[in-house]
Structure 1
Amino acid sequence: MNKQIVFRDLGFRDYKQAWDDQEALFQEILQLKSANRKAAVPVPTPNYFLFVEHPHVYTLGKSGDKNNLLVPEAVLKSRGASFYHINRGGDITYHGPGQVVGYPILDLENFFTDIHKYLRLLEEMVILTLADYGLKGERSQGETGVWLDVGTPRARKICAMGVRASRWVTMHGFALNVNTDLSYFDLMVPCGIRDKGVTSLSAELGRHLPMEEVKTRLQQHFLELFGGRNSLDS
């Protein structure tokens, strides 16, 4: 099992371009797994983790309800935002500047074969990162992602998640609000959940945070939780 993980920071990139980048790596791993079934000596499958920051965009998962977008797409265009139907799980999500988006493209057979565990570890990565900043992140029963003040009238989401997996290969991932303009969430029902708000690290801490610092902390916790190794350290 190959536990090395190649981390790539795509910087500020259009959503469709980053989706194409994901798909290329996703298919690379799937094709190698197919070839390995016939190979005398299987080749270890790689693992990737992409960081990216997107221009304003709304994405709707395959099981989502477009009624959770509260304005016509023309209004989105007037706000400089685009819209995509995509092939992950989950409902509607917003991505934009000031948000750390992470796309782990892993062969889970290198780690464990349990999608539920995978999602819980992604949540734990974010919870540990929030704790680094003195915030108590929590899970909300039946709602994937990470929240603050669960079980109170002030419950609010700080990190959304939605993944796709095929033959234990993952894509899509999480979006952590760091310095995000939260007004863009007013144009939708975030993740289809009507009775909870959204927040960001900067809103909670009252200051702007260095994006690179947050990504470094996320990467460290991810490696610890998955027992992985940064490919640069091998």
Structure 2
Amino acid sequence: MNKKIILQDLGRKDYKATWDYQEEIFAKIVSQKIEKRNQPEIETDNYFLFVEHPHVYTLGKSGDMSNLLLSEKQLTEKGATFYKINRGGDITYHGPGQIVGYPILDLENFFTDIHKYLRFLEEVIILTLKEYGLEGTRSEGETGVWLGVGTPFARKICAMGVRASRWVTMHGFALNVNANLGYFDNIIPCGIKGKAVTSLHVELGREIDEAEVKEKILKHFKVLFEAEMV
């Protein structure tokens, strides 16, 4: 089992270009898995991509178009794009000030349990938030990480949506760090009405060092997945 993960920080990159790149890596890993049947000594690769997207809304395969509250003209006016994509979940927003992580892993190198995989992704973010004095938690039946669950002020700080096929993962998480939350007003985030969205800088009342947050995310990811970043 190869527990080495190739780390790439793509900087700011167009959503569609990044999605195409994910698909390319995904196809390569699936191809390696097929070869491995005949040559067991072949190792399959694992990747972890960090990226920041220009303003974009994405709708998961089970999502409802009515959760996008903008027309095509209004999207253009706001400098945003929109894509229907092949991850789970409903609608979400990506943009500047948000740390997006796409682990493209062969889970057969780690564990073959999608539920556990999602819980581990959530735990990575929960442990990262704890380092900033915030208590992130899960919300029953809702993937992602929240603050204030069980109070009238429940708010989502990290959205998650993944795709897995042949135990290879795609897509991942989006943590609001210095995000412009006004863009969330144009959607019903994740299709969940009546719940707010927040960002790390709003909770702490100051701008956050995003490079520092990435370091903390990677630290917890490596421990939970017993992995090595290369």
Q: Scaled by the length of structure 1, what TM-score is found?
A: 0.97
Aligned to 2:24: 24
Q: Write the deviation string for residues 97-135 of structure 1: whole angstroms up to 9, x where unpaired.
A: 000000000000000000000000000000000001000
Q: Distance in 2 between matches of 1:83 and 1:193?
A: 19
2:2 counterpart residue number: 2
SS of aligned partner of 1:5: strand
Partner of 2:170: 171
Q: Distance in 1 between matches of 2:154 and 2:183?
A: 19
Distance 1:230 1:94 in 2: 28
- Displacement of 1:13 in angstroms is 0.3
SS, match of residue 37 in structure 1: helix
The aligned residue for residue 47 of structure 1 is 46
The gaps in structure 1 that reach 5 residues or longer are none
> C-alpha displacement at 1:167, in angstroms?
0.6
**Equivalent residue letter for 2:37:** R
Equivalents in 2 of 1:17, 1:187: separation in Å?
A: 23
Q: 2:113 and 2:41 mapped to 1: Cα distance?
A: 22
Q: CA deviation at 1:210?
A: 1.1
SS in 2 for 1:52: strand
Paired AA for residue 55 in structure 1 = P
Match of 1:97 in 2: 96
Query: CA–CA distance in 2 between the matches of 1:42 and 1:75?
Result: 53
The residue correspondences of 1:1-234 to structure 2 (distance < 5 A) are: 1-39=1-39, 41-231=40-230
Structure 1 residue matching 2:51: 3-state secondary structure: strand
Structure 1 outlier segments of 4+, above 4 Å: none
How far did residue 77 of structure 1 move? 1.0
1:60-91 deviation line (CA, Å, top 9, x unaligned): 00000000001212111100000000000000
- Counterpart-to-counterpart distance in 1, 2:35 and 2:73: 46
Partner amino acid, structure 1, of 2:156: K
Distance in 1 separating the partners of 2:226 and 2:213 = 20
- Cα drift, residue 38 of structure 1: 1.9
Unpaired runs of 5+ in structure 2?
none
Q: Which amino acid aligns with 1:192?
A: G
Separation of aligned partners in 2, 1:204 and 1:9: 26
Measured after TM superposition, the shift of residue 42 of structure 1 is: 2.9
Aligned CA RMSD, in angstroms, stands at 0.6
